[in-house]
Structure 1
Amino acid sequence: MATMKDIAKLAGVSTSTVSHVINKTRFVSEEIADKVNRAAQDLNYAPSALARSLKMNRTKTIGMLVTTSTNPFFGEVVKGVERSCYHQGYNLVLCNTEGDSQRMRASIDTLLQKRVDGLLLMCSTLVGERIDIFERYPDIPIVVMDWGPMLFSSDKIQDNSLQGGYMATKYLIEAGHRDIGCITGPLIKHQAQMRYEGYKRAMNEAGLGFNADWILEGDFECEGGYQCFKQLYERGNLPSALFVCNDMMAMGAINAANELGVSIPDDVSMIGYDDVHIAKFMTPSLTTIHQPKYRLGKAAVEALLKRLEQPDGETQMVQLEPTLVERSSVMPINY
């Protein structure tokens, strides 16, 4: 493998001149620069990424932790992260925690030992935990994505789940529904709590009562939505509409409804949350709250790079606003 010394010998210049040309650290005349670049090309020289990272104290690599899920929401966010890293000239190292706290800590340790420039964390198993390893790397910038309270300082990117839950329920109310149920996510998770709070706010604002039989706690996965709708059906009288707090549970709920002979939306209207790519291809196509997944990923990368440039700046919290996507799973009614 060719070295700078080999290039210097072929071009008839000093090794330091070669370094300045390749690293663009000092002005070198066009004639000399051309000589050096031609020599480098002739020798098939490739600069060492490792050597450059040691010199610049940057590896141009970002580490990201996610919790595994069948929910394509995570994949769509990662797509935004990866594309933004590419446009910024960064590499992305992705680790899956499998929802396991011990594996999460081992992954963080591995990424930090590999000298990533910063970390993106999108794994709710961190909520409420003290991560001692961060204390050993106090200068590593961290951006937390889409989940709530932590015991360590970081920049944060999230969607406004309270507003999204409110918008979903208000849309059902404005469509004429008064008997409205809710399948929540796991209420230990911040985003699930906020979507449920939005539901309650809209119901209270409209002066509507709550039927405990129509409120069930799911798991943000298809199976949870499927089982919750079956429980709802077994309890007897169905609501006229359901706010299901993510699209994957809505998919499971629609499947259960079909098995039970309940028509969506003729018998029960349904609205989801996230607007994953497959939501518009469901039967019926799902009315839902759009969460800006690509922008969530892009904003996280931008926040991390800003923190790298301004390490002592104030901690920032970027909140992305949800929007309503109307499709075919909600039927307006008149009482």
Structure 2
Amino acid sequence: MTTIYDIAKKANVSAMTVSRVVNNTGRISEATRKRVKKVMEEMNYVPNSMARSLVLQKTKMLSLLITDITNPFFTTLARGAEDTAKRYGYKLLFGNSDEDYAKEKDYVDMILSTRVDGVLFAPAGDRSLEPLQQLQNHQIPFVLLDREVPGMEADMVLGDSKEGARMLVGHLIELGHRRIALINGAPDVSTARLRSAGYLEAHKLAGLPVDESLVIYANYRDFHEDSALDGLLRLPSPPTAIFAANNFLAIGVIQALRQRGYRVPEDLSVVCFDDFGPAESLNPFLTVASQQAYQFGSLGMQLLIERIDSESDLPRRKLVLPSELRIRSSTAAPTSINTKAADH
């Protein structure tokens, strides 16, 4: 049976060059590519996927580790990653950490034992540094998605969380809201810190003070801080609007408000970061800072495959995707009753 070594010898190139021609990867001159292909035809060479993986020490398998597959943002991101991986001839293994560091570590241990060629990694938070260092120590390429991790230099695809938050809060301020609550993710997550920074910047630009009693830190996956919400509503000057730092927090907030007899936006306006996927177009309601979720996955996958196929060290690349303000029916000017309460 003809092997790539036979092809390489006759074409006077390395086995690696033949492999790159077979897999259509790497940078090869067109003349070399044509010469190798001609020899392959002459020798009736049929590529063998198992042999290719042994020569290249590649499995053509990649891993995508995200924090919450039930969140439409990550569901759409996963589709972008999978479509792009398939286009380049890779298969994708999925993992879901549920924003849990222990579960994330278990998945990284599994990734290390599976021999994947690279990982798209949406970190649970700052403490994801240790499992990322494990990947680094085992020389497994990875790209960070959505979140940065202090102390880790890597390729990454991020959203402009700060600017998106500033736009959302600025929209509420333009409507006349002066008491705007922030229900945020955990402070050890980079996107939560950036959305908090955008919230503060919008107030600063408008010349408005920030009341720390209006800021709540929760968990991105769910909102169960009923006592914290009750505390907001019982303030002497309660908020007239709420900025939920992601779509799941917004759903929890709206459900909790309705259970307490509050209407959105008649009694309180609500805005949030991230949209709700295709279903949102059927009944648009929430005003959001919408992110390019599909592009997160697709671009991240392209960066990862380029890193895997590169013959030399590439410079670290950081892509920041802008968000879009989509104004819908969950926001309105504060009512006269709420305005008086807020100004009290």
> Taking structure 1 as the reference length, what is the TM-score of the superposition?
0.80
Identity among equivalent positions (%) equals 28
CA distance in 1, matches of 2:113, 2:153: 20
Deviation at 1:53, TM superposition (A): 0.8
Residue of structure 2 equivalent to 1:246? 246
CA distance in 1, matches of 2:121, 2:248: 22
Indicate how the Cα distance of structure 1 residues 77 and 240 shifts in structure 2: closer, same or farther if over 3 A, else same: same
Residue of structure 1 equivalent to 2:170? 170
Residue of structure 1 equivalent to 2:273? 273
Q: How does 1:176-191 map to 2 (within 5 A)?
A: 176-191=176-191
Residue of structure 2 equivalent to 1:302? 302
Aligned residues: 309
Residue of structure 2 equivalent to 1:203? 203
Quick check: 1:133 aligned with 2:130? no
C-alpha contact 1:145 1:157 (8 A) present in aligned 2: yes
CA distance in 2, matches of 1:262, 1:255: 10
Deviation at 1:105, TM superposition (A): 3.2
Q: Report the 3-state secondary structure (helix = DSSP H, G, I; strand = E; otherwise coil) of the residue aligned with 2:157.
A: strand
C-alpha contact 1:65 1:122 (8 A) present in aligned 2: yes
In structure 2, the gaps of 5 or more residues are 11-17, 23-32, 340-344
Residue of structure 1 equivalent to 2:233? 233
CA distance in 2, matches of 1:104, 1:29: 44
C-alpha contact 2:129 2:149 (8 A) present in aligned 1: no
Residue of structure 2 equivalent to 1:323? 324
CA distance in 1, matches of 2:240, 2:103: 43
C-alpha contact 1:168 1:289 (8 A) present in aligned 2: yes
C-alpha contact 1:67 1:98 (8 A) present in aligned 2: yes
CA distance in 1, matches of 2:280, 2:135: 41
C-alpha contact 1:166 1:198 (8 A) present in aligned 2: yes
What letter matches 2:321 in structure 1? L
* Higher deviation after alignment, 181-190 or 157-166: 181-190
Q: How does 1:280-295 map to 2 (within 5 A)?
A: 280=280, 285-295=285-295
CA distance in 2, matches of 1:183, 1:286: 15
Deviation at 1:91, TM superposition (A): 0.7
Indicate how the Cα distance of structure 1 residues 145 and 103 shifts in structure 2: closer, same or farther if over 3 A, else same: same
Deviation at 1:215, TM superposition (A): 2.0
CA distance in 1, matches of 2:278, 2:207: 34
User: For 1:250-270, what per-residue CA distance to the aligned partner results, in whole angstroms no more than 9, with x for missing partners?
Assistant: 111111111111111011111
Indicate how the Cα distance of structure 1 residues 211 and 278 shifts in structure 2: closer, same or farther if over 3 A, else same: farther
Residue of structure 1 equivalent to 2:25? none
> Taking structure 2 as the reference length, what is the TM-score of the superposition?
0.79
Q: How does 1:88-107 map to 2 (within 5 A)?
A: 88-107=88-107
CA distance in 1, matches of 2:79, 2:331: 30
* Higher deviation after alignment, 281-290 or 311-320: 281-290
Indicate how the Cα distance of structure 1 residues 194 and 99 shifts in structure 2: closer, same or farther if over 3 A, else same: closer
Residue of structure 1 equivalent to 2:333? 332
* Higher deviation after alignment, 228-237 or 208-217: 228-237
User: For 1:219-243, what per-residue CA distance to the aligned partner results, in whole angstroms no more than 9, with x for missing partners?
Assistant: 1233346554333224454322121
Residue of structure 2 equivalent to 1:64? 64
* Higher deviation after alignment, 66-75 or 194-203: 66-75
What letter matches 1:332 in structure 2? A
Deviation at 1:326, TM superposition (A): 1.2
Quick check: 1:110 aligned with 2:110? yes
Indicate how the Cα distance of structure 1 residues 166 and 100 shifts in structure 2: closer, same or farther if over 3 A, else same: closer
CA distance in 2, matches of 1:188, 1:303: 26
- Higher Rg of the two aligned structures: 1
User: For 1:179-201, what per-residue CA distance to the aligned partner results, in whole angstroms no more than 9, with x for missing partners?
Assistant: 22211111221110110110011
CA distance in 2, matches of 1:115, 1:290: 35
CA distance in 2, matches of 1:26, 1:128: 45
C-alpha contact 1:120 1:143 (8 A) present in aligned 2: yes
Deviation at 1:284, TM superposition (A): 7.4
* Higher deviation after alignment, 283-292 or 86-95: 283-292
Deviation at 1:28, TM superposition (A): 4.8
CA distance in 2, matches of 1:317, 1:101: 24
CA distance in 2, matches of 1:142, 1:172: 38
Q: How does 1:15-34 map to 2 (within 5 A)?
A: 25-28=36-39
What letter matches 1:27 in structure 2? K
User: For 1:44-87, what per-residue CA distance to the aligned partner results, in whole angstroms no more than 9, with x for missing partners?
Assistant: xxx64322211233322211222346433222211111111112
CA distance in 1, matches of 2:54, 2:227: 54
